[in-house]
Structure 1
Amino acid sequence: MTSPETPADTRDMYMVHAMFRREFAALPALVRDVAAGDTERAHLLAEHIGFLTAVLEAHHRAEDIHLWPKLLDRGSEEVGPVVQMMEGHHERIEQLTVQSVAALGEWRQDAAAERGKLLADVLDGLYGVLYEHMGLEEQHILPLAEKYVTATEWHAMAGSTGAALPPGKMPLVFGMTLYEANPEVIENTLSSLPSEVRTMLEEQGPRDFAAHSERVHGTPTPHRSAPLKPSQR
């Protein structure tokens, strides 16, 4: 159990980012591979894309509410420009997400080739900004969080993200994150949860992810995002 003064252990952010890198990187090709007029496949991918963007939105909203204000309030002069950059990324990601939702709504109706191309191009742009954002966050924000944020506050931010997820999707999100996670970090993440919740996530999460990935990617073991960083091992 952590005390209120224990510094934040930010390693769980790396495994969340690995999940986002893997899943968002795959989206443009998934859309481009849909045959013109295949509305069944388009509907499936539309649900997947909508789910991922909802998870990303919950993740970023929790940072906006729980992380940036604490860093600005407690940090030195170095913090302001970095947080401003992160907030700018969030705004741009939100704009691209809105564009993707609009393009997705049109494409899922008839799976027209031109609409699919437009959606895939928007998703390419979204992933580009997201990839840059996560890399800079790992480089600049996580060391600041370990310096200025407590473990209790960090867990509260994660809890806020979980509360904002689509209903009933927590096991799937856990399974998606577990796929490339450091077992030690997972153990630390689960340690603060009630035993029945932990058991449910550990048993149902991998099954939900494997079934979901089979439908979306055609395999229960999709391509991994990247080799683990030393801080993830």
Structure 2
Amino acid sequence: MTTEPLADVRDMYMAHTMFRREIGLAPALIRGVADNDVARAAVIADHLRIVDNGLHHHHTAEDKHLWPRLLERDTAQAQPIVAVMEEQHTSIDQLLEAARSGLAQWRTTADATQGEALAATMSLLSERLAEHLAAEEDLALPLISQHITAAEWGQMIADSAGDVTPEQMPLIFGMMAYEADPGTVQDIIAHMPPEVSGIIGDLAAQVFAAHAQQVYGTATPARVGARGEVVL
């Protein structure tokens, strides 16, 4: 049993809510693009590429930093849970790859038939992702809170940022903080490195509001809540 501080997993719930919302709202965004409106399709495609990149690195970081350590420290309880997590990650990765291919074609044509096929893929991705995130929160996060140290958690969070540039950080954090408890957001900012926390703060909310206005036509898009129930 470690005597080191253990992981504070609250930021995981923030990330999950963001992924539920942005991918859950994607089919309507795609279907709302007029046939041949390539400029609008590019806006939506660029937005979904940011979300896709975040989800890809999020899962890759979990695969690298969390599941092997859980198996080392609590094999009996962790083994079936990790097996489910890895199987779900594989299924989601396949849908993400299909979505990437569909987006690459649709963004240059805004063809309605391609858009409908892409929207159907995103709907299926949203369903699978919702199942996975609920399972992770119910089964894996309690084990992580018991067996993963704060330092190890920090490594995972750092890796989950992937290739996000400093300029993109306010937008990504703003997307995550949009539905989060303000106290939790402030706690997370307080534990960031100074070079990061200094560019987050109020800027994140402002940047996300401007981005949402461009993507959704409103600075306050629909909220989905902790388990994906849309709140208008």
Q: TM-score range by the shorter chain?
A: over 0.9
CA displacement at 1:182 relative to structure 2: 1.6
Q: State the AA in 2 paired with 1:114.
A: T
Q: Does 1:62 align with 2:56?
A: no
TM-score by length of 2: 0.92
Distance in 2 of aligned mates of 1:227 and 1:144 = 19
Deviations 1:59-116 (A, max 9, x none): 1111011111110110141211110110111111111011011111111121111100
Give the equivalent residue in structure 1 for 2:222: 223
CA pair 143-84 structure 1, distance change in 2 beyond 3 A:
same
* Distance in 2, Cα, partners of 1:111 & 1:138: 37
CA distance in 1, matches of 2:44, 2:204: 20
Give the AA of the match of 1:151: A
1:39-64 per-position Cα deviation (integer Å, ceiling 9, x unaligned): 11111111111111001011111101
Per-residue deviation at 1:23?
0.8
Residue 44 of structure 1 aligns to a residue whose secondary structure is helix
**What is the SS of the residue equivalent to 1:223?**
coil
1:121 alignment counterpart: 120
Q: Are the equivalent residues in 1 in contact too, given 2:179–2:225 (CA < 8 A)? A: no
State how 1:125-136 maps to structure 2 within 5 Å.
125-136=124-135
The separation in 2 between residues aligned to 1:165 and 1:197, in whole angstroms, is: 12
Provide structure 1 residue ranges, at least 5 long, that are not aligned to the other structure.
none
Distance 2:94 2:216 in 1: 26
1:184–1:210: structure 2 CA closer, same or farther, 3 Å change rule?
same
Cα separation, partners in 2 of 1:203 and 1:49, compared to 1, 3 Å? same
Provide the residue aligned with 1:173 in structure 2: 172
SS of the residue 2:171 aligns to: helix
Greater mean deviation of Cα atoms: 103-112 or 91-100: 103-112
Partner of 2:97: 98
CA contact (8 A) 1:4 1:151 kept: no
Q: Is the 8 A contact 1:96 1:126 kept in 2?
A: yes
Q: How does 1:148-159 map to 2 (within 5 A)?
A: 148-159=147-158
Letter in 2 for 1:80: Q
8 Å CA contact 1:58–1:165 kept in 2: the answer is no
Q: Alpha carbons of 1:7 and 1:227: their partners in 2 closer, same or farther (altered >3 Å)?
A: closer
Name the structure 2 match of 1:28.
27
Within 1, Cα distance between the matches of 2:97 and 2:167? 24
* Distance in 2 between residues matched to 1:153 and 1:202, nearest whole Å: 25
In 1, the alpha carbon distance for the partners of 2:207 and 2:59 equals: 24
Is it true that 1:197 corresponds to 2:196 in the alignment? yes
Q: RMSD in angstroms over aligned alpha carbons?
A: 1.8
SS at match of 1:181: coil
Q: Which runs of 4+ in 1 moved over 4 A?
A: none
Letter matched to residue 83 of structure 1 = V
Percent of paired sites with the same residue: 41
Count of matched residue pairs? 227
The equivalent of 2:79 in structure 1 is 80
TM-score norm. by structure 1 comes to 0.92
Distance 1:190 1:76, change over 3 A: same
Question: Quick one: which amino acid aligns to residue 191 of structure 1?
Answer: A
- Structure-1 residue corresponding to 2:42: 43
